[in-house]
């Protein structure tokens, strides 16, 4: 328990160490990559265990707000972006594909943990994670219909359904365990769960960075270009959402999307040109709690 509370205290440092390990230890990253689905499920379990069913579900007004946020982020933003890219003649370019994929994806599984690291309530981020993943098979259909180069939306929908099943199973197990073992966890237990989530995030990012190390060695200038784009999209969307009045958890989700989900659904001809971008996108993700704490400020009263 003391070790976990220490990990919670230094969670942001752990995220940076995970990023560095992913860059500097490519063999370790490659070995961890096959375990990513299990590790993501474990992270969702820990986050749900920390939050609890009542806080995760919220009331009717919160559910309506979460639905509106999901539709705006996963449907409205990518449709507007697709129209702009079509006007610019960039729909089939790797840059255009990367942008549309990033903005069509649901929240990352670490969204609630990131919100907690920033000192804000993780429950809204958990609601967006659950609802956004469940609705992905529907929200991608109109977007991908405008982008035939991405393959069939049915394949993406099946992948999203599998991810939804994993998240549903992990959260159900966590909510059940919490109700039985500790329905009202104290501050020390909550802190320990935050530390466990920080450790899980640090390990997961090593596997997600498996494509970045080779790109940094083989094409450093191309890597830097993709990295700059990843920072611009991620931090730009967070800043835009926050400036429009979104809460910190919603703003975090606005920029941090599970773009890696599409790797299991889209053809290699589509994903290969943007693999480096998907790896680079992990960098601003995992630096969000490190770099944006002052931007978001303390929790609003």
The span from the CA of 59 to the CA of 124, in Å, is 11
Q: What is the pLDDT of residue 276?
A: 83
Run of H or E including 242: helix 220-243
Q: What is the pLDDT of residue 29?
A: 84
Residue 182 corresponds to which tokens in the numbers above? Answer: 């500790």
Report the domain count for the chain: 1
In a domain, 4, yes or no: no
Query: Helices in 72-211 by DSSP H: which ranges?
Result: 77-88, 94-104, 111-117, 123-145, 153-181, 187-208
Does residue 275 register a pLDDT over 70? yes
How far, CA to CA in Å, does 62 sit from each of 22, 198, 243, 293?
Answer: 37, 27, 20, 24
Q: What is the pLDDT of residue 200?
A: 86
The span from the CA of 292 to the CA of 238, in Å, is 9
Kindly report, residue by residue over 42-53, the tens digit of the pLDDT: 888 888 888 888
Residue 14 near residue 194 (C-beta atoms within 8 A): no
Higher pLDDT, 60 or 118: 118
Lowest mean pLDDT among 12-16, 229-233, 240-244, 281-285: 12-16
In a domain, 15, yes or no: no
Residue 227 corresponds to which tokens in the numbers above? Answer: 């990295």
In a domain, 24, yes or no: no
Q: In the predicted model, what is the mean pLDDT of the chain?
A: 85
Q: DSSP letter at 300? A: P
Higher pLDDT, 97 or 235: 235
The span from the CA of 48 to the CA of 172, in Å, is 8
Q: Which residues of 49-77 are buried (b: 16+ CB within 10 A; e: fewer)?
A: bbbbeeebbbeeeeeebbeebbbebbbeb
CATH number at residue 91: 1.20.1530.20
In a domain, 90, yes or no: yes
Tell me, yes or no, if the pTM score tops 0.75: yes
Segment 291-295 shows an average pLDDT of 93
Higher pLDDT, 294 or 156: 294
Q: What is the pLDDT of residue 301?
A: 47
In a domain, 160, yes or no: yes
Q: What is the pLDDT of residue 173?
A: 92
Q: What is the pLDDT of residue 258?
A: 86
Lowest mean pLDDT among 105-109, 130-134, 163-167, 169-173: 163-167
The span from the CA of 233 to the CA of 229, in Å, is 6
Residue 101 corresponds to which tokens in the numbers above? Answer: 């994929």
Segment 151-171 shows an average pLDDT of 73
Does residue 229 register a pLDDT over 70? yes
Residue 133 near residue 44 (C-beta atoms within 8 A): no
In a domain, 12, yes or no: no
Q: Dmax of the chain from CA atoms? A: 56
Residue 135 corresponds to which tokens in the numbers above? Answer: 């609705």
Range of the domain at 186: 36-293
Lowest mean pLDDT among 56-60, 63-67, 219-223: 56-60
In a domain, 10, yes or no: no
The span from the CA of 255 to the CA of 238, in Å, is 5
Segment 122-140 shows an average pLDDT of 87
Q: Percentage of residues in the chain with pLDDT exceeding 70?
A: 92
Q: What is the pLDDT of residue 6?
A: 84
Estimate to the nearest angstrom the gap between the alpha carbon of 207 and the chain centroid: 14
Name the band, by pLDDT with cuts 50, 70 and 90, for residue 230: very high
Does residue 167 register a pLDDT over 70? yes
Does residue 239 register a pLDDT over 70? yes
Q: Percentage of residues in the chain with pLDDT exceeding 90?
A: 28
In a domain, 13, yes or no: no
């Amino acid at each position: 328990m003391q070790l976990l509370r220490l990990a919670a205290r230094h969670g942001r440092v752990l995220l940076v160490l995970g990023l560095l390990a992913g860059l500097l230890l490519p063999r370790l990253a490659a070995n961890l990559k096959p375990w990513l689905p299990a590790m993501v499920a474990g992270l969702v379990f820990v986050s749900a265990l920390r939050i609890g069913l009542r806080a995760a579900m919220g009331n009717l007004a919160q559910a309506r707000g979460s639905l509106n946020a999901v539709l705006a982020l996963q449907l409205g933003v990518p449709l507007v972006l697709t129209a702009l890219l079509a006007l610019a003649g960039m729909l089939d370019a790797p840059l255009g594909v990367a942008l549309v994929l990033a903005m069509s994806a649901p929240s990352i599984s670490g969204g609630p943990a990131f919100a907690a690291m920033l000192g804000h309530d993780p429950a809204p981020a958990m609601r967006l994670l659950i609802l956004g993943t469940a609705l992905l098979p529907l929200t991608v259909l109109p977007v991908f219909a405008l982008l035939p180069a991405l393959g069939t939306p049915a394949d993406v929908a099946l992948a999203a359904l599998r991810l939804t099943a994993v998240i549903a199973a992990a959260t159900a197990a966590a909510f059940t365990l919490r109700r039985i073992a500790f329905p009202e966890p104290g501050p020390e237990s909550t802190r320990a769960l935050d530390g466990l989530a920080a450790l899980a995030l640090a390990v997961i990012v090593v596997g997600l960075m498996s494509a970045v190390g080779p790109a940094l060695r083989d094409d450093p200038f191309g890597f830097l270009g993709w990295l700059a784009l990843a920072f611009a999209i991620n931090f730009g969307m967070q800043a835009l959402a926050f400036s429009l009045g979104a809460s910190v958890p919603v703003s975090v989700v606005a920029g941090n999307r599970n773009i890696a989900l599409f790797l299991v659904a889209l053809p290699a001809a589509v994903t290969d040109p943007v693999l480096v971008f998907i790896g680079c996108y992990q960098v601003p993700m995992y630096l969000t709690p490190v770099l944006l704490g002052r931007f978001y400020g303390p929790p609003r009263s």
